[in-house]
A and B are shown apart, each in its own frame.
Chain A
Amino acid sequence: MAVQDQDSFRRAQAELEPKEDLAPYMGKWVALRNGKVVASDLSAKGLRSQPEVRPTDAIVPVPRSRPGYFIA
């Protein structure tokens, strides 16, 4: 495969990267538009029902994280 595949892979992988700190939303779902949070809710369904959320927005969970090491 060509080198541009590698470039497009890296670009595509960065697509959902948030452009703001998501720490205030830990434990919730957020709707991201262009990397910015436009709404949040405790469930994905509740988030989708909010009027400011568009069908094209990315619906993303924000897991809780405690200080220290993370193990899955």
Chain B
Amino acid sequence: MERPGSFTAPYRPGPDGQLRPYLLLTLIGFKQEIMISGLVDTGADRSVLPIDYAEELGYTVDDLAPVEVGQVEGSASAWMAQKPCGAIVDGIPEIEFEIAPLFVASLNALWGRADLMMTFTVSVSEKMQELTLQLD
């Protein structure tokens, strides 16, 4: 039975064809809105985006601060947005929240805990291959 304010979608295939909990968000940047598909990652402290999206969203060099981030393969350089952009989950336009992404030199987008998961309770069912967002 569906709970009020609960949204469930099936896992979707990545570029390698494997099904995973990808989630489509629209980020409301300073020069345009962009739809971005990212992997829901409860292990990521913050949301992470490929660096090319920084310019796409309208961030300038002055809006980014260099930081070191830890990851499974060791540490890496990243750039932290100093101001947030808006975000909505596609299909749930009523709820807008803010994301101040970490930009990295990789092509993977990850939705982390500091923004998406402060707005929705996120759960995955590996058994059902489903992702659920619950409004608190």
A-side residues, CB < 8 A to B, are 1, 3, 5-6, 8-17, 21-23, 25-27, 29, 43-45, 58-65, 70-72
Contact = CB atoms under 8 A, between A and B. Distances in A.
- Give the size category of B's interface with A: 35 or more
A6 B7 contact: yes
B90 A3 contact: no
Contact of B106 (A15, A17, A63): A63
A45 B55 contact: yes
B15 A8 contact: no
Contacts of A26: 15
Contacts, number: 93
Interface of B: 2, 4-10, 12-18, 20, 23-24, 34-35, 37, 39, 41, 43-44, 50, 52-53, 55-56, 71-72, 89-92, 106-110
28 contacts: A6-B2, A6-B6, A6-B7, A6-B8, A10-B9, A13-B9, A13-B24, A13-B91, A15-B35, A15-B90, A16-B35, A23-B15, A23-B17, A25-B15, A26-B15, A27-B107, A43-B52, A44-B56, A59-B56, A61-B50, A61-B108, A62-B107, A63-B14, A63-B107, A65-B14, A65-B15, A71-B72, A72-B108
A18 B12 CA distance: 10
**Can you list the 6 inter-chain pairs with the closest CB atoms, starting with the nearest?**
A12-B91, A9-B91, A44-B52, A65-B16, A61-B107, A12-B90
Given A12-B24, A16-B37, A62-B15, A45 B52 contact: yes
Given A9-B8, A61-B50, 8 more contacts: A6-B2, A9-B90, A10-B8, A22-B15, A60-B37, A70-B20, A72-B72, A72-B108
